[in-house]
Structure 1
Amino acid sequence: MEIYDSGAGRLVYELPSDWVLGEGRYVVKLVRSKKKDGFDDSGLLQNWREILLSRYGPIQDHVVPVVGSGENGLWLVMPYAEQYNLDWDHDAIDEKVDMIKSMDGVEPVARGGFSGSLDLNWTENWGAYNGEYRLLDYGGIAITTSIPQYENELIFSDPSNRP
């Protein structure tokens, strides 16, 4: 498998078709390993945010869903979303950004790049999924509400929501 994409805390691979049951393309996001003391905290935080936010009703129609994950959050799987060969409609994306910013229970917090703008505003964090623009990298959105976790999962509490 070749790296499809990567960030500071995670590596993204497209799953080979012979690993997938049924039709479709999927990617796996793996938390980067640190050489000395475990796993990258930022990658783990991003994975947990995506795992839980994909279950949160108000935002579900705006994100590419997580369809599988490890109970420790070290990996997650989501459908592939096309990022290339698209006719970008920046007005449509801006409208979705505004909708997400106004939602209760979530708060875009991650900033970066030269402009210091929210990750939510970056075109590379969006893709085409099921015929519409959806966020495919949304680990920069903090969870400010309670989202139920499965019994076997480690309990996650978003650090940006702690006193």
Structure 2
Amino acid sequence: MSNRIHRSRKKKKSDYTANKIRLIRGGHEYFDLVIKLINNARDSVHLQTYIFENDTTGTSVAQALMNAAQKGVEVFLLLDGYASQGLPDEFIQQLKESGVHFRFFEPLFRSRSFYFGRRLHSKVLVTDARFAVVGGVNITDRYNDMPDQPAWLDFALFAEGPVAVEACNLCRNVW
């Protein structure tokens, strides 16, 4: 793991007005942006989400993450250990073998019928500590526009600017 930490400094009003913010509707608009940001990353990718499934959408995002890692980008994928526990071992192994730093955010205690502890419910993507996408969209076909069914209605915010540094630091702290 890189020792590159993006230092925070005292906040000024200009730090917040310098950000470019855009509302993103879920579905193709969201996933096209996510894959574009991952593909264009040069330094780092942090993706944290509650649900990541081994379906068409999950496979597309996973492929972009693996491609980025193989280009030398540091890629960190953190998934909730309860909501994403259905991912096949082979899927996870393929991510790791390509260079993706992968782990589950695990509860303090769990069994098949009960868990006790915190969940990772955030849905955050940060690339190069420059761009961030934060919202309610999970990585699964249910949140994407599929031929037989439209996406669940959900939104995210795309941000470019100093707020992405803060989001990157949050991702590193949770990792």
TM-score (norm 2): 0.25
> 1 or 2 for the larger relative contact order (CA 8 Å, sep ≥6)?
2
TM-score (norm 1): 0.27
